[in-house]
Chains A and B, each alone.
Chain A
Amino acid sequence: METVGFLLDGIFTSLQWFNLALLIFGCLIGLFVGAMPGLGSVNGVAILIPITFIIPPTAAIIFLAAVYYGAMYGGAISSVMLGIPGASTAVATVFDGRPLAVKGEAMTALTAAAVGSFVGGTVSVILFTLFAPPLAEVALRFNAPETFALMVMAFATFVGLGGDDVPKTIFSILIGLALSTIGLDLITGKPRLIFFNIPGFLHGINFLVLAIGIYGIGEMLWTLEETKGKVQMSKLSVNMKEVGRAFGALKKTIMAMNIGSFLGFFVGILPAAGATPASLMSYGITKQLSKNSKEFGDGVPAGVVAPECANNSASTGSMLPMLTLGIPGSPTTAILLGGMILWGLTPGPLLFTQEPEFVWGLIGSLYIANFFTLVLNIALIPAFLMVLRIPFAILAPVIFVLCVTGGYAPTQSLHDVWLMLLFGFAGYILRKLDYPVAPAVLSIVLGPLAEKALRQSLILSDGSMGIFFDVSEKPIAAVIMYIAIVLLIMPAFGPLYRRLLKKKQTA
């Protein structure tokens, strides 16, 4: 088979000592930027682009892809250990990763994150190797109506996210959607909802600002109140028994791995989505399909595996539209794409045939990078666990500083730091009132994507909603839309159905 030959060449290319050294170095940098709140793969790759002018393009892409990749692993570390999402792609990891750590099962959470990432990364790179050209065709046919249908499906899964209190969940979704409309009107380009004419609102509410506020600051306030500053984690011994237990817990996460890997890859190859929506959607769907969905949010390994698996899978997937269509599947690939153009490569349908060494070198390096990041991560777990030995009275100010720098870094404006603190207090109050906050975070990510796709579709259809339901004209959009409606109705009818059953039995 031709592909196998190319792939072996690619793997050998990335095993050359120079490329391999860059790859390992890149993974380490990625782990670091991923773990630092506010610094994500976007910043890491953007900062390193100029360095890549002095090395050959293949080495450059291997290096930057390793940074991208490492960051997907790294984000989980601060999500689990500190409760602050290290990167936007790791926000969903906080949902269950943090409660696991609080329960004293940080080891399990970190192992689940590392193994989940490895599985997601490996499955997606295999899919990439086998099906790249036909999948590029799918991405090409996936336009505005299809994107909107997918977003509706994502929102439908959120309704199940907040637990049984559906009205509170919907309230939370609407808050997120309202916040996501601040800034620039996506279609007319006019500013909207610029409160008090403060220029900081022109760039909208950055999703990380909300997530760091709610999870970092809000969580810290909550913990302080609960424990009066006296928390200290127990069960910190790292021995073979613990390791065995951690791996044992993974047996129950097979479904999460499947959903994360395949959904993540699929969302990743769609233009303009990327790893953040992929990880959030994967979490939502895994929770809804799980038998013990009520335990999600209180710390189940599957809740860590699903988003971690998906973000690695999506990051590989998003390389596909970048290479074959010249459009970025995520903010980070947007920068990689800029880099490729500067290195003198033209992304597009011909890249696979014109630059096989580059493309297959990259694909080969993903296999190797996956392996090395897994090994690095497992090996470093004892070091990460030391964070939990720090008394909370010392840890709290550190978390606060990390939150402030994390809020400042993405846009480099103090405006966002104030917003972040505001969201922290709001999140704390919402939590006291027992409102789920995860749906708000999810909808601020997907809100702009959904709005844009909806308005593009309606321009195309002259305002008719029929464009989403016409099976003969837009089969993909229609099928996704109908699935979304079923998903939306399911949680509402579930309790009703059960009640009906009970009535029948009593009657």
Chain B
Amino acid sequence: MSIIKKLALVVVSLSLVAVSSVSSAKPFSPKKPVELIIPAGQGGGADEIARLVQGVIEKNDYASKPVIPINKSGGSGGEAMTYVKKKAGDEHTLIITLNNVLTTPVNQPELGIDFFNDFTPLARLITDTFLVWIATEGKNTAGVETFDDFIDLARGNGLVMGGTGSMSEDELLLGMMRGQFGFDAKYVPYSGGGAVAKGLVGGESDFTLNNPSEQMGFYQSGDSKALVMMTPERNPAFPEVPSSYELGYPDLEYYMMRAFMAPAGIDAEVEKYYTGLLHTVYHDDEFQTFNIDDGKLMSWLEGFGLKDFLAIEYAKHGEIIKNFN
């Protein structure tokens, strides 16, 4: 143990040295490790992207200081957003988004989060898509070949849907589909997309609205199949799955955005630095290949375009929540 303690001392003193060595170059660059706040648990989609970004930066030395992902999963992102709000003006904090940054300020007004004034949006890198999944050998969905078969079945029967938690993206999406197609389902929340996928194949639920990566393993083994992808076009990772536009349901379109934001009140220089850093990551070959193979859409957006997009999405989610309750 004494050896261990000595080791601990060395580690602590080394990290102190690292923190105190201040570089004084003119254009902004981080002076200490950058905290990347993840408003979700370890092992989920946001966590995966955050750690990929961290890895790509580390491997290629894109930044002068390391990026440290920190999970703050409490309160559907409420804990993370409160934390970043309090860090106003801090130049070494970033947050990666799920759509819960759009819904939590509305659902939990007691947190006092103002989405438009408490954060500085930097860039959107990726949008993730959603599909309707059923188990290939699902006992209640036997004979369902197309999305229309599925709607017919779902209208008559109370099917069970597995999802990632109350008021999460997929439950909102179910609310949206309820309005569009006139069916309802019993919603069972699981802990994370992987558990949702397993619940489907294990026969506990009848359908799910998983992201591509969450069902990839079962999709490749033929245990689950997708009926529709909620996008205008087909995705090369799922060539045989029709898009909702093809099937004549252009209203059935929904995305998960993976954007990065900084706290409010940072200098334009700092904003420019982090946007530039994210741009470098975005164009990294490894980053591109990984996300495309995983069925994600590469969709860089920054500046006013991003602000408009966020305003539209915020309003759209407000509307979905209102109809939901």
Contacts and interface: CB of A to CB of B under 8 A. Distances in A.
Given A143-B199, A203-B73, A350-B217, A459 B110 contact: no
Given A35-B4, A141-B202, A326 B197 contact: yes
B42 A46 contact: yes
A204 B192 CA distance: 18
Given A140-B198, A143-B199, A344 B293 contact: yes
A431 to B, nearest CB: 25
B52 to A, nearest CB: 5
A419 to B, nearest CB: 14
Given A199-B82, A202-B74, A271-B195, A337 B43 contact: yes
Contacts of A199: 78-79, 82-83
Contacts of B41: 334
B159 interface: no
A253 B239 CA distance: 57
B2 to A, nearest CB: 6
A383 B82 contact: no
A383 B1 CA distance: 6
Contacts of A452: 191
B33 to A, nearest CB: 12
23 contacts: A35-B1, A50-B55, A144-B204, A187-B166, A187-B189, A189-B107, A189-B167, A197-B110, A203-B73, A272-B195, A328-B43, A331-B43, A337-B43, A337-B194, A338-B47, A338-B51, A341-B213, A346-B220, A349-B223, A383-B3, A452-B191, A456-B189, A459-B187
Contacts of A272: 191, 195
A326 B189 contact: no
B166 A326 contact: no
Interface of B: 1-5, 7-8, 41-43, 47-48, 51-52, 54-56, 58-59, 69-70, 72-76, 78-79, 82-83, 107-108, 110, 160, 165-168, 186-192, 194-195, 197-199, 201-204, 213, 216-218, 220-221, 223, 290, 293-294
Interface of A: 32, 35-36, 42, 46, 49-50, 53-54, 77-78, 81, 140-144, 183-191, 197, 199, 202-204, 271-272, 321, 325-328, 331, 334-335, 337-339, 341-342, 344, 346-351, 383-384, 386-387, 398, 411-412, 452, 456, 459-460
B42 A202 contact: no
B8 A36 contact: yes
Nearest to A51: B58
A492 B72 CA distance: 42
Contact of A327 (B42, B167, B194, B293): B194
B186 A459 contact: yes
Contacts of B216: 326, 346, 348
A203 B78 CA distance: 9
A204 B76 CA distance: 12
B54 A50 contact: yes
A109 to B, nearest CB: 14
A189 B165 contact: yes
Nearest to A448: B191
Given A35-B1, A191-B78, A387-B2, A341 B48 contact: yes
Given A197-B110, A338-B43, A338-B48, A348 B7 contact: no
A342 B56 CA distance: 11
Contacts of A326: 194, 197-198, 216-218
A49 B51 contact: yes
Contacts of A331: 42-43
Contacts of B76: 184, 189
Among A142, A334, A452, which residue has the most Cβ atoms of chain B within 10 A? Answer: A334
A143 B189 CA distance: 12
Contacts of B54: 49-50
Contacts of B290: 342, 344
A59 to B, nearest CB: 15
B167 to A, nearest CB: 5
Contacts of A411: 72
Given A338-B47, A349-B218, A191 B75 contact: yes
B110 A350 contact: no
Contacts of B8: 36
Contact of B7 (A32, A271, A459): A32
Name the 8 nearest CB pairs between A and B, nearest first.
A348-B217, A334-B43, A203-B74, A202-B74, A327-B194, A349-B221, A202-B75, A202-B79
Contacts of A344: 290, 293
Contacts of B192: 327-328, 334
B4 A32 contact: yes
Contact of B160 (A190, A321, A460): A460
B42 A349 contact: no
A73 to B, nearest CB: 13
Contact of A383 (B2, B218, B293): B2
